[in-house]
Structure 1
Amino acid sequence: MKQTLKLFFLLFQLLTFAFAQDHIYSQFYNAPSYLNPALNGQFDGDLRVNMIYRNQWTGVPGSLNYFTLSTEYNVPQFGGGFGLLVTNSSEGTAYLKKLNISGLYSYSIDFDNAVLSFGLQAGFTRRRIDYNKLLFADQIDPVTGIIPGAVTDASLPVLNNKYFFDAGTGVNFILGDFMIGASAQHINKPNESFTGLRSTLPVRVNAHTSYRINLDPYSDDGNSVLIPSLVYYSQAKESSVSAGFQYKYRSVNAGLWYRSQQGVKGDALVVSLIFDIFIRKDYYDKVRFGVSHDATLSKLQYGSTAGTTEAALNYETTFPGRGGVGERNNRRSSSKRCYDFY
């Protein structure tokens, strides 16, 4: 039995990493650095902190949980910003865990009514399986079920941790009320195999575009705005497209999205609701809270998966002594930034 279990886990690891894919957020606009490193530092404050949590298919056994934290420091004098991106995930009953910590740098070129941004991302990833939370045959009694406190005699793989360097890059362009960008992650194609055999992490390509439509032509503040967007993801042989819109009225933002996946007629319908709470408008301080829910449309069926829920919390602030609205408006051109599109 020991040899059988060992073979099983080796096959499990190979299959897992051969088809490994990154998760995607439905609230991509509340995880800008995860979507594209070129969006790092593209805001009007000094410091921005984004947090987002995704609980996918809550009705399916084996949790699929994802969390991303990003911290960005805006340095207009350098034409961009510096940031830190931390992403943690736990997938399936085998508790496949992944932790990535990356540094971010972006640089922007301003024009009269446009801005071109470039971004770099580099860091390290750790992947591991928590075998202590797995249940083996010798821990189960055929009559009474699970044996409390039983310790398995299965020979577990010795190599349980894998560390590797990971890098990405991106570009973003805004012209007037139009924004388009693209990014590539895992461009170094790191080897993430536990076994010593080569199993590369496929490059993930993201492309996104948005257009801002002012529904109140008599107001320059954008009190009523419609923002249609399109987001494309591709990794290995899988791809997906999210199409939809956000309607923003003052500090309330409601969104509706349809996501399709390659080979699937419909993957999910997404509904989102976001609230911006401005603390000091003269210093661009605000707190944003967002929540969204994915209703599964594929063959998995919503009744079986219970859908997917996301929650996001963002904070943006201006440091004392670094100027209010008047001074900050002189730091950059009048062109819009990515935050104007969500």
Structure 2
Amino acid sequence: MKFKFILIAAFTLMTTFSNAQDPIFTQFYLVPETLNPAFTGVSNTWNAGLIHRRQWPDGNRKMDTQFGFANNLVSDEIGVGMTVLNHSEVFTGYNYFKFNGAFSYRIDLDYDWRLRLGLEAGYGRKDFNFNNLLLEDQININTGAISPGSIDPGVMNYSNKINFMDFSAGFVLDQEDTWFGVAVKHLNRPDISFRENANVPLDLFLTVHGGYYIEFFNSPSKLIPEGTNLLLTANYMRQGQYNRLDVGTVMEYSRISFGLIAVTNPEGRATNSHLITSINPVFSFKTDEFTFGYSYDWNTSKIGRTQGVHELSLTWQSSYRCDRCDNYKVKLKRNGESGYQKM
């Protein structure tokens, strides 16, 4: 009985606290659609991409997250698109899937500044196979044999799948070299409890993000050729009791960019909290239409040997531009775009 109680209690806590957290991506500056629906259609052309994140690849602790998106403008001010998220954990057998439609509307505040409003809505599903739990009535204490099923009524009160609707909103202020955005996910606080007649509202996910480009036009150094750009970026996230602030810088050359992003815990809630939890080198290579990115999260906390976090991204922007969008002044950098396209 004690063994059964520990399993049920551990799973209940895991469901309530750990799995209520949204997956987070290191390369948010390359794929801003992971943060804010207001970025839908921001490229003024067909834009699509995939990002894959493998966290702690050491054996049973492995967690995989995939995110895909596609969007475009349908008029001078309106952008539409879709996003798909899938997250799976080997140790628990837990899976989280979400499919959303996204919409944005652009308002030109003046010649330089724009306000983009975004909405996102869709369907979410969480899965957990309770048949994988080993309960007391499955164990034959005389022979050690394991029965394939359980008649325990406690397990019968849990559902293997839960489905829910989900809504998010955000805005972005931007001009040629600067952007600042805020988004809130799970506005309707969907119930994510696996237990019948229970209610575990999904915590709101707040993200505040921004970036600033410094362009080197007349650099005297051979190490910094003309046309090089330095991106300064930050992303603060908060969900329930968890908080995280990513700050970093990325140097962008003609085709190659590299940089460093630090993950911090600015609101340490325990005496053993770490201010800096990981240091993440980032790298990307771009062609005329494609950008390939890679990042590695090097753990600096005392959580132990995790083999880090690997993240791969591939984004595509069509070379076609909207010629009829008279009031949409596209300011392309001399060397093309990388990450969030400046306009």
Q: With the length of structure 2 as denominator, give the TM-score of the two structures.
A: 0.83
| Contact 1:30-1:52 within 8 A present in 2 as well | no
Alpha-carbon distance change, 326 to 305 in structure 1, aligned in 2, over 3 angstroms: closer
Amino acid at match of 2:103: Y
1:81 alignment partner in structure 2: 79
RMSD: 3.1
Q: Is contact 1:186-1:202 (8 Å) kept?
A: yes
> One-letter code of the match for 2:122?
G
Residue matched to 2:297: 294
Is the 2:31–2:340 Cα contact (8 Å) retained in structure 1? no
In structure 1, give the amino acid aligned to 2:49.
N
Structure with bigger helix share is 1
Decide whether the 8 Å contact of 2:176 with 2:342 is kept in 1: no
Q: Following the alignment from structure 2 to structure 1, what is the Cα–Cα distance between the partners of residues 88 and 145?
A: 24
Asked whether the 8 Å contact 2:29–2:233 carries over to 1, the reply is no
SS at match of 1:29: coil
* 3-state SS in 2 of match to 1:28: coil
Cα deviation code 1:125-156 (max 9, x no counterpart): 111102355566788899x9998xx6243644
For residue 36 of structure 2, what is the amino acid of its counterpart? N
Partner residue, 2:233: 229
Are the counterparts in 1 of residues 282 and 295 from structure 2 also a CA contact under 8 Å? yes
* Contact map agreement 2:52 2:312 (CA 8 A) in 1: yes
Gaps of at least 5 residues in structure 2 are 220-224, 269-273
Separation in structure 2 between the aligned mates of residue 184 and residue 97 of structure 1, nearest angstrom = 22
| Residue in structure 2 matched with residue 314 of structure 1 by the alignment | 315
- Secondary structure of the 2:41 match is coil
1:291 match: secondary structure: strand
2:150 to 149, 153, 161: 153
For 1:38 and 1:193, locate their aligned partners in 2 and report how far apart those are by CA, in whole Å: 30
Change (3 A) 1:170 1:209: same
Report the Cα offset of residue 66 of structure 1.
Answer: 0.6
Q: Does 1:255 align with 2:259?
A: yes
Contact 1:114–1:335, Cα closer than 8 Å, also in 2: no
| 3-state SS in 2 of match to 1:33 | helix
User: How far is 1:178 from its partner?
Assistant: 1.6
Cα distance in structure 2, aligned partners of 1:204 and 1:326: 34
State the secondary structure of the residue aligned to 2:250. strand
1:266 to 261, 272, 276: 276
8 Å Cα contact 1:115/1:335 also seen in 2: no
Q: CA deviation at 1:18?
A: 3.9
Q: Which residue of 2 aligns with 1:321?
A: none
The CA deviation string for residues 202-235 of structure 1, in whole angstroms up to 9 with x for no partner, is 00000111111001248xx983000011110001
Aligned to 1:283: none
Instruction: Kindly provide the amino acid, as one letter, of the partner of residue 282 in structure 2.
Output: S
Go from structure 1 to structure 2 and tell me whether the alpha carbon gap of 1:139 and 1:30 turns closer, same or farther (over 3 Å shift).
farther
Partner of 1:177: 177
Partners of 1:305 and 1:40 in 2: CA distance = 35
Supply the distance in 1 between the matched residues of 2:327 and 2:138 (Cα, whole angstroms).
65
Specify the alignment match of 1:93 in structure 2: 91
User: Match for 1:105 among 99, 103, 106?
Assistant: 103
What CA distance in whole angstroms lies between the structure 2 residues aligned with 1:23 and 1:325? 33
Q: Does 1:333 align with 2:329?
A: yes
Please tell me the residue identity of whatever aligns with 1:117: R
Distance in 1 (CA, whole Å) between partners of 2:324 and 2:53 is: 34
Tell me by how many angstroms 1:17 deviates: 2.1
Give the percent of matched residue pairs that are identical in Structure 1 and Structure 2: 26
Unaligned runs of 5+ in 1: 279-285, 319-323
| AA aligned opposite 2:241 | K
Secondary structure of the corresponding residue to residue 61 of structure 1: helix
Residue aligning to 1:17: 16
Mapped partners of 2:57, 2:145: distance in 1:
24
* Partner Cα separation in structure 2 for residue 145 and residue 62 of structure 1: 27
Corresponding position of 1:281:
none
Deviation at 1:327, TM superposition (A): 3.0
Structure-2 separation of matches of 1:92 and 1:28: 25
Point out the more displaced range, 12-21 or 228-237.
12-21
Check the 8 A contact 2:131/2:149 in 1, yes or no. no
Q: Is the 8 A contact 1:211 1:341 kept in 2?
A: no
